[in-house]
A and B are shown apart, each in its own frame.
Chain A
Amino acid sequence: MTATLEIPDLGWREGGQGVLRGDLLRLFRKLDTLWLRWADAAGALEIEPPPMLPAHALQRLDYFASFPHLATFACVHDEDAENLAVFGKHPWQADGSGLALGRLAPTTHVLTPAACYHVYLDLVGQDLAAPITVTLGTRCFRREKEFHPLRRQWAFHMREIVCVGTAEEVRAHLASHRTKMLELSERLELGATFEHATDPFFNPGKSARYLMQKIDPTKEELVFGGDLAIGSLNFHRDTMGAAFEIRRGGETAQTGCVAFGMERWLFALVQTHGLPGAIAAVDRELDGGDA
């Protein structure tokens, strides 16, 4: 597959960041409307989280040991006047490669690397009498080695439908969406298939969580064109429940999320149908009221 597909209405900026315009943005919104219908059908509460997560929330997951290479930090300067003045006078590295930051204040926040963490953070310490389903679409940030328009971006949109409950409740949530995703892929002629996957852990040979994903595959990715994961189903068992002290009926809660990489869906759809055809295909989905 080519990674250099000409995408109409897409701007591309240094640092792996896309600009969606016109019809491409329209396609983005239509797709998101489709996911929101799925979320609504699942009885999900919709939330709009802030763009940053407190670092302590990620520390609960040992995130910095697992993914130190992906994190993007919200850094600010120490407010000392001289510190700020020095930076103001010489803000750039001598070779122009980037900013020459002065002394930083302690970094307390991280730009969201995955949407669903916001859900668990909001439930810290709770004991749920019934399962809860939450949906959120948020911009996520992952610093990668290289970037390709729509396929791999530093900043991208992720829509998730998250379930917190018992193992049975979470499994049912994931199973029903697995079927819906496959049927949708078929109707949209994407030819995508589910494959077991592991997350991109740092130093995987020494990561317990990587090892668990290998021996007990709980992550499935919906793969387009043989190499592009456009969606995923993630069963965390009680990892998130334990990390965020969430209980369901007195037991540690189990969690699972259905995730859609929005820009990657745009890529898959435009590659398959062209932009006007992609819009028409998603319009048919919305008109059909399948969700």
Chain B
Amino acid sequence: MNATEIKAAIRTWILDRHPNYDAGKLTDETPLIEERLLTSIQVMDLVLFLEDLTGQAVDVTRLQKGAFSTLEAIRQAFFLGASA
């Protein structure tokens, strides 16, 4: 997967959980937590989804501040090797 496909997959995952959210407003830089698109109830499920996408386990105790702040931040935190 390249970076665009990765972000599209995560974008779809988020929009599936927020059917009333205006999909046109969700950009790579939309603040996901501020906009309540990512809540504490959903965040562990997203981690599992990212583990499926990357094929690697995520050590949540090593995650850094801001790792889930935007679609682009997620790509950088988990898929830094993916081509843009």
- Spell out A's residues near B (CB within 8 Å): 196, 204-206, 208-212, 214-217, 237-239
Contacts of A210 in B (CB 8 A): 60
For chains A and B in complex, what number of residue pairs have CB atoms within 8 angstroms?
46
Min CB gap A250→B, angstroms: 15
Name the prevailing secondary structure of the A interface residues: helix
Closest Cβ neighbor of B31 among chain A residues: A216
**A212-B40, A212-B43 known; A205 vs B65 contact (CB < 8 Å):** no
Min CB gap A241→B, angstroms: 11
Query: Contact residue range for chain B?
Result: 10 to 19
Scan B45-84; emit 1 where CB is below 8 A from any A CB, else 0: 0010000000000011101111111000000000000000
Closest Cβ neighbor of A217 among chain B residues: B65
Q: List 19 other contacts, CB 8 Å, given A211-B43, A212-B33, A216-B66.
A: A196-B65, A204-B61, A205-B59, A205-B60, A205-B61, A208-B41, A208-B44, A209-B40, A211-B47, A212-B43, A214-B61, A214-B64, A214-B65, A215-B43, A215-B63, A215-B66, A215-B68, A216-B68, A238-B36
Name the prevailing secondary structure of the B interface residues: loop
Complexed CA–CA distance, A212 and B60 (Å): 10
- Spell out B's residues near A (CB within 8 Å): 33, 36, 40-41, 43-44, 47, 59-61, 63-69
Contacts of A212 in B (CB 8 A): 33, 40, 43
Closest Cβ neighbor of A216 among chain B residues: B33
Min CB gap A192→B, angstroms: 21
Shortest beta-carbon contacts, A-B, top 5? A212-B40, A208-B44, A215-B68, A211-B60, A215-B67
Contacts of A204 in B (CB 8 A): 60-61
Contacts of A205 in B (CB 8 A): 59-61
Contact B60 A216 (CB under 8 A): no
From B40, B41, B47, B59, residue with most partner A Cβ within 10 Å = B40
